[in-house]
Amino acid sequence: MTLPDRPGALAVLAQNCGAAGVNILGLQIFPGIEAVTDELVLRTPEGWGGPEIAELIGRSGGESVVSAPCTEAALTDQPTRYVQAARTILAQPASFPEVVAMLFDAEADPVAGASAPVQDVMDMTVGDVQVQVRRSAPFTATEHARASAMADLVSDVLQRTKEDSGFAVGPGRRLGDGATPEYVAEDNSVSAVIDGVVVGIATVRAPDENEPDVRPVTLRVDPGFQRRGIGTRLLLEGSRLARALGAREIVLTTRSDNRAVLPMVLAAGMRGRIRMAADVLTVRVPVRDLKPSRA
């Protein structure tokens, strides 16, 4: 919620909460110019929901109220959460999309046609990749600054470890046993083949009628051949194939904890956009300017 930035505003809210039997368990304040955004953790009387909370906050001078159920995890000390998130990112930079989604309470995208609340969007940039999270409660200027700092952190870590992380993938990268994958395009798919065996495949699907120039792509690599640059090359070749089929953009969907996505898109040198929503990660990559395959 937002409260006017004047002395006693929180006191009025606290008094009204006490009179209504509502206990304030946690409070986080995000300063603004004319108004202050407050995030409260409340224990309300049995039977209370969003309307009752909004009415209480409204007669206490608050506006722009967004409420949602939470667990005891919401009472975790906020500075501690950010330190833990930074430690996770330092140890595993590829976990950045998953970590920031949890850190900023990302929600699922609203269903088309449903009466879902308008969602605010926050973008963070790592290299040429844009990571995007959404939620009903507007993101504050403080949170934007924190998100930017987190993105800068992961960019620095990735830059320092670039030579050892295998991000540079050429058209004929050899694997540990000396084999060079061959990439074969057929109709709507590109396969990675080693010694006659398919070890990975990118399949370009038919477009949705609502987005005729956007092609969904599914990408799979045999577990025994992962982390060897095959997924990155398949993403690149699958994108080129989608472009040849008339696509302006491709979209991939996977689990939110899939930590191969960020390094893969970065390694491909593509300007992707990663969207986190609850437990789903969606990657959209423009392919309009891609050149034909060199394979």
* Degrees to nearest 5, angle at CA 177 with 176 and 179: 100
Domain ranges of the chain: 2-74, 76-295
Per-residue pLDDT of the chain (295 residues; tens, 9 = 90+): 999 888 899 999 999 999 999 999 999 998 877 788 999 999 999 999 999 999 999 999 999 898 888 888 888 888 898 999 999 988 888 889 989 988 888 887 765 554 456 689 999 999 889 999 998 888 988 999 999 999 999 888 887 876 554 444 444 455 555 578 899 998 899 999 998 899 999 999 999 888 999 999 999 999 888 878 899 999 999 999 999 999 999 999 998 888 888 888 888 888 889 998 777 889 999 988 776 655 4
CATH architecture for segment(s) 2-74: 2-Layer Sandwich (3.30)
- Scanning the structure block, which residue is given the tokens 């809210």? 13
Sequence-distant (≥ 6) Cβ neighbours of residue 276 within 8 angstroms: 97, 98, 100, 101, 106, 131, 132, 133, 134, 256
In the CATH scheme, what is the code of domain 76-295?
3.40.630.30
